[in-house]
Amino acid sequence: MTKSLNLKRFELGVCYYPEQWPETMWADDYRRMRELGFSVIRIAEFAWTIFEPQEGTFSFDFFDRAIDLAHQHGLQVILGTPTATPPAWLTSKYPEVLNVTQAGVQYQHGQRRHYNYNAQIYRELSARIVRKLAEHYGQHPAVIGWQIDNELNCETNVFYSAADNLAFRSWVQQKYDSLDALNSAWGAVFWNQTYTDWAQVNLTGPTPSDSPNPHQALDEKRFFSDSVIAFARLQSDILRELAPDQWVTTNGIFGHLDSHQLTEEALDFISFDSYPNFSTIFPAPGPEPLLDRRWSWNLSIARSISPNFCVMEQQSGPGGWVNRISQPTPKPGQMRLWTYQSIGHGADMILYFRWRTATVGTEIYWHGILNYDNRPNRRIREAAQVGRELETLGPLLVGTRPMARLAIVSDYDNEWDGELDLWHGPYTRQSVQAWFKVLQYRHIPVDSLNLRPTTTLEDMLKYEVLVYPHPAILTEDTAARLAEYVKQGGTIVFGCRTGYKDLRGQCYMVPMPGPVAELCGVTVEDFTRLETTQRAPLVRWRGDKTNGLTIAAEGFNDILQSVAPGARVLAEYDDEFYKGSPALVLNNSGKGRSYYYGAVFNEKAADALITEIGLTSPVARWLDLPKPVELCVRERPETGEKLILLLNYSEETQTINLKKAATDLLTGKPAQGEVQIPPFDVLILAEVTGSPITASP
Ligand code: GAL
């Protein structure tokens, strides 16, 4: 069951830290927030010592005043549970709660997220503070929901304390039951790693060449994820018991955490923290980089968990820590643009991070809406504009959902295995980037689909096309479901390195791509990894719509044999000792098709495949869009009514051509023909039903 944010009205708000400002400022802050149209604040996620100044002594006066005053101003409150920042009294009395690096160095008090999830005393003290908070605020009329902790697994996502080690041992004992099974799953016969006593089984430690047992490393990540989920469950069970009318979420999506399972087991919906400038400071290589628009992919992942979600932290200023790379300030219009980027991808509640820039601490350069000086500025004007616009737009948006006909498929097993295994992990990142960029520039909305044992055929059949770039780990069960998807009319695209490992990360002793060889009508005869310095071999395409294209086959080359009688070779290597061998094979089965491409996808290959498959933009018939404009479509499930969001990420005015009548929902005016979108601006359209499409000029 998908857990989605389900609101009656759009909520806009801001993260606020009453403990960081003189109390005399609160009323003015709240008044100004309301003037901007804000309806919600998030508070208290780092304030454990204020609630529990000494072990077992609780005090709510401070936050009672802050929350009651917010309530008087008509603001709703999301309360953070404060477990991301254990008090100094706690870590000094119980140092076993501190996290430890793989090299054995224990973190100390002074930053945040320095605890581990498995220390029994930390679990007890965390449960107690959450219980106290829920008892106290569980019925408060201003409190609408809870954020568990803050960004679980941010800062670090590996845990090697003594408590974690012991918990890992029980975890593997439960999973494998016998040492024989464990030794077999971890391939312990290789390099004499066989365990003869459970006491010898540990989390991975430092190893020569930094190269632990890969099967153990994969299990370790599953264990980290389970530990986080158990810790979140500890809190959400209490909140559900004591605050049944308030919802529960957490913010962010981070490594070594199955956020889909976390949401399923502990939350009502996921919240995401949206900082698009991270994509600008680490641009992807290649021409015409997507920059801040690349961030849209992260938002797509958030909506694969909750189709409508909350953005708990929306970037509202330049970012930077005192010691961390700084980000440029959002250009005029960009903060508003990013807000609509979140909306375009499914957010129905957005809180800016943060109200005012901190004047103390590590984040004095992580700017909020207001600067230290507290004067009105251009960012506050932009927030006000968004607030005004959402008054009319909000009711139209709420309950609509982004729609896409293509999904890029992923799964946690391959993600985690691919962190260590360089023979497939990096390829997935490259291929996803290439597909996403090409789809963006062709204005074809794309979803992320996390393939899980619970994913149904219906979930898959929502998409005409699934791209599963390099699923090295692929089980018979997944293969059977994918085969059924194709049989019923779906189109699937695989890249190199598909289907050669089982769930333990061990290699199958069958021709690749193993469990999908029959579906793809192809086997891999031979293969080679390409060095980065090596020129990628060229491939000649001869598909119906791609005949004559020559595209470099990058990264890795599977040298294919076309085996199934009906399978068709759509491209061949034109280079190397495997010149003439198939590089791309199409196989039809049932009502659908599968494509097996023997390399890593670059932009040209993704582009050619989209053409070959015949996928076009859903607005292609009536809307001409230039490349710098992102298209998002939000659709009301009950009526099929669509809202078209057009976002201009560039510094130049972009001209679009509307070949039928639409309504500009921000102005309420009709729009048709050539319409300009100024730099960093947005246009939100509703089609006028029944209006005819005019011929292109
Ligand atoms: C988020 C975090 C916030 C703040 C912000 C800016 O990751 O949740 O507390 O640190 O980044 O760095």
Beta bridge partners of 674: 657
Question: Helix 412-420 crosses helix 214-242 at what angle (to 10 degrees)?
Answer: 140
- If you measure from the C-alpha of residue 354 to the centroid of ligand 1, how many angstroms do you get, rounded to a whole number? 9
Q: Is the CB of 154 inside a 6 Å radius of any atom of ligand 1?
A: yes
pLDDT in tens, 311-368: 999 999 999 999 987 889 999 999 999 999 999 999 999 999 999 999 999 999 999 9
Is 96 known to be catalytic? no
Is 313 known to be catalytic? yes
Q: Is the CB of 149 inside a 6 Å radius of any atom of ligand 1?
A: no
Q: How, if at all, do strands 669-677 and 682-687 pair?
A: unpaired
Q: Which two tokens stand for residue 4?
A: 């989605």
Evaluate if residue 686 carries a pLDDT over 60.
Answer: yes
CATH topology of domain 623-687: Immunoglobulin-like (2.60.40)
Q: Is the CB of 316 inside a 6 Å radius of any atom of ligand 1?
A: no
Of the two residues 328 and 190, the one the predictor is more confident about is: 190
Q: Is the CB of 353 inside a 6 Å radius of any atom of ligand 1?
A: yes
pLDDT in tens, 649-667: 999 999 999 999 999 999 9
Choosing from 11, 52, 313, 612, the catalytic residue is: 313
- If you measure from the C-alpha of residue 318 to the centroid of ligand 1, how many angstroms do you get, rounded to a whole number? 12
- If you measure from the C-alpha of residue 225 to the centroid of ligand 1, how many angstroms do you get, rounded to a whole number? 21
* Residue 695 confidence (pLDDT): 64
Q: Is the CB of 17 inside a 6 Å radius of any atom of ligand 1?
A: no
Question: Helix 259-266 crosses helix 296-305 at what angle (to 10 degrees)?
Answer: 40
Evaluate if residue 414 carries a pLDDT over 90.
Answer: yes
* Residue 152 confidence (pLDDT): 98
Q: Of 348-357, 471-480, 533-542, which range is least confident? A: 533-542
Nearest atom in ligand 1 to 353's CA: 5
Helix (H, G, I), strand (E, B) or coil at 79: strand
* Residue 324 confidence (pLDDT): 85
Domain ranges of the chain: 406-613, 623-687
- If you measure from the C-alpha of residue 317 to the centroid of ligand 1, how many angstroms do you get, rounded to a whole number? 12
Q: Identify the residue whose C-alpha is closest to ligand 1 atom 10.
A: 363
73 contact partners, CB below 8 Å, separation of at least 6 = 27, 30, 31, 33, 34
DSSP state of 37: T
- If you measure from the C-alpha of residue 353 to the centroid of ligand 1, how many angstroms do you get, rounded to a whole number? 8
Q: How far does CA 590 lie from the centroid of its chain?
A: 33
- b/e per residue, 431-464, with b = 16+ CB within 10 A? bbbbbbbbbbbbbbbbbbbbbbeebeeebbeebb
Helix (H, G, I), strand (E, B) or coil at 93: helix
Confidence tier at 691 by pLDDT (50, 70, 90): confident
Nearest atom in ligand 1 to 363's CA: 12
Choosing from 11, 45, 52, 151, the catalytic residue is: 151
* Residue 697 confidence (pLDDT): 46
Q: Tell me the CATH class for 406-613.
A: alpha beta
* Residue 286 confidence (pLDDT): 83
* Residue 696 confidence (pLDDT): 54
572 contact partners, CB below 8 Å, separation of at least 6 = 539, 540, 542, 579, 580, 581, 582, 583
- If you measure from the C-alpha of residue 658 to the centroid of ligand 1, how many angstroms do you get, rounded to a whole number? 40
Q: Is the CB of 273 inside a 6 Å radius of any atom of ligand 1?
A: yes
